[in-house]
Amino acid sequence: MASDYTKLPIVLINNFIWDLASGSVSGYPTISSAVWNISQYVYKPFFPVNENLAPDSSKMPYILYDYSFKMPNMNTFWPLQSETAMYTIVGDVPQIFYLKNFIYDTLKKYDTSAQEINKHIKDTTINFKCIHVDQQNFIVDERRIDSYKPKYLTSLLLTYDYTK
């Protein structure tokens, strides 16, 4: 069976986080607009790092992401694949703190987080085994020449294992 290289695990995770925030995951209510006002967005606010000019900076926070392949444990059965992704959350304070905490709480549960994503996405071609998240850095003030309004950044590092 040929692999579908257009189906990216990180995009499935992004979609799960968005669906969870919007109340589209069975058994979970819509997240409070004080945490993340999802009604302001036309598009899901997740952008690959190479599209960093795409976000509408009037609608914040948004998330820039990138991922890389990671060598799985050498004692692991070879079909297990592993990736590391970096989320950079851009926005105003305190919203980036709230969003960071929401994503962290969603993904910190290792195999339980993986099972929740598998149950929601209902995709038999990708099966998450384990997901965990760490904070990568403290908040950073990003000042730009073209704007007097500063943006703030914080990052989360996701590590996840899956089979295809």
pLDDT (tens digit per residue) in 19-67: 999 999 988 999 999 989 999 888 899 999 887 556 666 778 999 999 9
pTM comes to: 0.88
Q: Examine residue 4 and state whether it is found in any structural domain, yes or no.
A: no
pLDDT (tens digit per residue) in 91-105: 888 889 999 999 999
Q: Kindly list the distances between the CA atom of residue 126 and the CA atoms of 4, 39, 77, in Å, as whole numbers in the listed order.
A: 10, 30, 16
Question: Does residue 23 come out as left (phi exceeding 0), alpha (psi in the -120 to 50 range) or beta?
Answer: left
Q: Examine residue 3 and state whether it is found in any structural domain, yes or no.
A: no
Q: Looking at the 3D structure of the chain, how many domains does it have?
A: 1
> Any idea what the CATH number is for the domain that residue 64 is in?
3.30.2000
Q: Examine residue 90 and state whether it is found in any structural domain, yes or no.
A: yes
Per DSSP, the three-state class of 53 is: coil
Q: Examine residue 151 and state whether it is found in any structural domain, yes or no.
A: yes
Q: What gap in Å lies between CA 76 and CA 111, rounded to an integer?
A: 16
Q: Examine residue 53 and state whether it is found in any structural domain, yes or no.
A: yes
Q: Which of 4-13, 110-119, 124-133, 140-149 has the lowest mean pLDDT?
A: 140-149
Question: Does residue 119 come out as left (phi exceeding 0), alpha (psi in the -120 to 50 range) or beta?
Answer: alpha
pLDDT (tens digit per residue) in 40-52: 888 899 999 887 5
Q: Examine residue 1 and state whether it is found in any structural domain, yes or no.
A: no
Q: Examine residue 2 and state whether it is found in any structural domain, yes or no.
A: no
Per DSSP, the three-state class of 56 is: coil
- Residue 145's domain spans which residues? 9-163
